[in-house]
Structure 1
């Protein structure tokens, strides 16, 4: 029976690989047995629903000659996909283990710059837990076990980073930093006020209280008054919401101006 399951699994994986290659998915390097890598093998890319919604609904509204920031880039799954839609992508990642693969994967696109730091509201080093089998879950609030590692993450404010934009505008900022989103926004206040990019942010249900969260409140102070959540189930698309409810948002869009999203 085990041999039958093995043969079946091998056939399914080979079929999936052919399908992903035909779809033009980038062949990213990943760590065996890690959560993100497993999802890439199955779906062609990690967070495929979020990327699909961004590529079909949001990115066509943004100028192609603008800049994207990927804050919490991990191994580069999002950055490499973003690079096809923007003039340049700046990818920020402080975790050395993720950074090793991010630097390799960034070579797939000539318009990605890798920054070996994370972002916060002041310069410091954060001691974080790196869960075994889930590199993307590394963070100060991660629940550790005996097999997990503790890592030191160098963090700086975005407003102190020279991005060498060459006069180009930043039109989109993705933030996925495992509970440190508010600090990132506060440390990027000047940049966000100047460029007014759309923010795509992960929001954990544990941070939501009374329709908001520390990160959402920080963005609201900078004029981000419009919020769009991904529809749960069905087609991947965004819809306007007036406040956040107590659930996980893998991608919540924040904007200083209204965004019109058509049904697909």
Structure 2
């Protein structure tokens, strides 16, 4: 299903919930406990509503991470947003593991920090980075990046995924290899990568990670988002295939085509596919 269709369906659910809560004198703000993790939510946001409705937000990805993450490992959450997967990863790695979480927008980073503060036992396993990951340190950071999916219609939203750009005033640009040389105390076991078209920017700065460590990647493929950033699916694959990676469907675990043209035929315009990239 296209992201826009998911958001439109979520809007219908939100308006029903909002009306009911208003009758009860309650706002859209709610602190909830889901699967043993606390979240501070704004129900007028798409990700927040998905968590509120029984952790429906990217449930399949959460299930895949549960099967792939090794206890006591070092994992990366790139595009952490408000922490829906960050906190799950922190629980999966256990007290001896570590999570490095990256989020460039000021809006989502504040929400991410708040959700970690609500879960101190998990927060102790997480190191936060208010960074935009790219090829080189110190380059300019985009002024705004999509990190909000409002459930109240407004002007200026993305035509396909209905997201809203949020400012990155406080973010720094860093390369992933550079950060890992400073902060990694063991090999990276897994990377969750979801950056809405900036994947190639991230991977340009991760050549050592891809060549020498070759961790598992759990990521979203959205060819239209790559093209909007001046990249392509062919370019994305060029970082993985020469390093021995194979691409698998996240849901079925079936091997997917390695040719960009064949892979792109599986994802129509405005859609995305969640995949796993790993070395057999």
Structure 1 outlier segments of 4+, above 6 Å? none
Q: Name the CA shift for 1:200/1:163 in 2 (closer, same or farther; >3 Å).
A: farther
The 8 Å contact of residues 198 and 226 in structure 2, kept in 1 or not, is answered as no
2:171 matches 1:156? no
2:142 to 126, 141, 164: 126
Give the secondary-structure state (helix, strand or coil) at the position aligned to 1:114.
strand
The 8 Å contact of residues 150 and 164 in structure 2, kept in 1 or not, is answered as no
Give the secondary-structure state (helix, strand or coil) at the position aligned to 1:27.
strand
Range that drifts further, 176-185 or 188-197: 188-197
1:171 to 163, 166, 189: 189
Q: Tell me the TM-score normalized by structure 2.
A: 0.69
2:229 matches 1:206? no
RMSD over equivalenced CA pairs, Å: 3.3
Shift in Å, 1:173: 0.5
Q: Name the CA shift for 1:207/1:111 in 2 (closer, same or farther; >3 Å).
A: same
Distance in 1 between the 2:192 and 2:148 partners? 25
Q: Summarize the alignment of residues 5-44 of structure 1 with structure 2, pairs less than 5 Å apart.
A: 6=20, 21=33, 24-44=35-55
Alignment length (residue pairs): 225
2:92 matches 1:106? no
1:115 matched to which residue of 2?
129
2:121 matches 1:75? no
Shift in Å, 1:200: 1.0
Q: Tell me the TM-score normalized by structure 1.
A: 0.73
Distance in 2 between the 1:70 and 1:184 partners? 12
2:89 matches 1:66? no
Cα offsets for 1:173-196 (capped at 9, x unmatched) = 011111010111111111222221
2:66 matches 1:55? yes
